[in-house]
Amino acid sequence: MKFILIFLLFSILSISAKNLESKIYYGDYVDISFAPYQVEIFLDYLPNCGGSLLSETFVLTAAHCTESDKNPKSYSIGVGTRRILDIVMFNIKVIKIIDHPEYDKTTVFSDFSLFQMEKVKKFPKSAAFVKLPNKDDVLKTGEIMNIAGFGRTENGVTIFLKGGSIPIYDQEKCKELFGHLEKTMICAGYEKPMSTGSCFGDSGSGLVRRSDGKIFGVTSFIFSEKCSTHPAVYSKVTAVLDWINEIVFKDH
């Protein structure tokens, strides 16, 4: 059954890959070393969301990624490679899903989830854990952040990891654009056509500061179907550090 699903996934991605162009509006094809913490979360062996490795057994992602199915047995985590078909062949089972207790699907408040994976004997050498920020770490408007994922491109889906760099967007201007912005949310990206930015399928992936590799955001939602004409909104990791540390690092 798994082989059949992998074959179907390969067929779907291969059809979309035929239309890929060298000019990439939403970023560039990158090696896994660009974002070694990047994972792909599969739901019934099909790509669902992105996420970031916190440890060998925990991944940080978005809570809205699990709205359609809360059964951990339905999910698996692909780690350590830039090619999505390789990820399908090597993935780790999920044994527990922990949504943030204050997550609200209506307001998308506290859009965080922790996926606990089974411990494997051999972890990919190409994978690495993302760094957590300190509570008092502050982002400045214009500061450069890295994003990565297997989400939608201007030509459809992608079979290779894509990544890019975007600036922190002015938060007051973001409030004006969208009418409301929670204090636990961050705007990042550009307000111009054909710009790098997070898109559908990138939900749950990290917003990581380029200068020190610390994760400050989890991709939550976008306001434009074209993805490149508005900044995206990310859930602020510094707001939930106590929750993360209590669950992930309680025995350390």
CA angle 204, 208, 211 (to 5 degrees): 175
H-run or E-run covering 171: helix 171-178
- Average pLDDT of 21-44? 76
Contact 175, 183 (CB under 8 A): no
What is the per-residue pLDDT for 124? 86
Domains of the chain: 2-21+36-129+241-248 (2.40.10.10), 144-238 (2.40.10.10)
Q: For residues 138 and 153, is the Cβ–Cβ distance under 8 A?
A: no
Which helix (H) or strand (E) segment is 123 a member of? Answer: none
pLDDT tens readout for residues 231-244: 888 999 999 999 99
64 included as an active-site residue: yes
Please give the single-letter amino acid code of residue 45: Y
pLDDT for 88: 56
Say how far apart CA 188 and CA 207 lie, in whole Å.
Answer: 9
Query: 183-207, pLDDT tens digit by residue?
Result: 899 999 887 654 555 554 468 999 9
Cα R_g (the chain), whole angstroms: 17
Catalytic residue among 203, 205, 220, 228: 203
Q: Which of 64, 110, 220, 230 is catalytic?
A: 64
Q: Is 203 a catalytic residue?
A: yes
Note the pLDDT of residue 224.
Answer: 55
pLDDT per residue as tens digits for the range 48-95:
899 999 999 999 999 999 998 999 999 999 998 877 777 655 689 999
Residue 28: DSSP 8-state = E
> What is the percentage of the chain residues whose pLDDT exceeds 70?
76
pLDDT, position 26? 54
Residue 111 known to be catalytic: yes
Contact criterion met (CB below 8 Å) for 190 and 197: yes
- Distance from C-alpha of 190 to C-alpha of 134, rounded to nearest angstrom: 26
Query: What single-letter DSSP state applies at residue 85?
Result: H
Q: Flag whether pLDDT at 47 surpasses 80.
A: yes
Number of alpha carbons in the 13 Å side-chain half-sphere of residue 22: 0
pLDDT at 14: 37
pLDDT score recorded for residue 238: 98
Choose the most confident range, by mean pLDDT, from 38-42, 191-195, 245-249: 245-249
Q: Kindly name the residue from 52, 111, 228, 230 that is annotated as catalytic.
A: 111
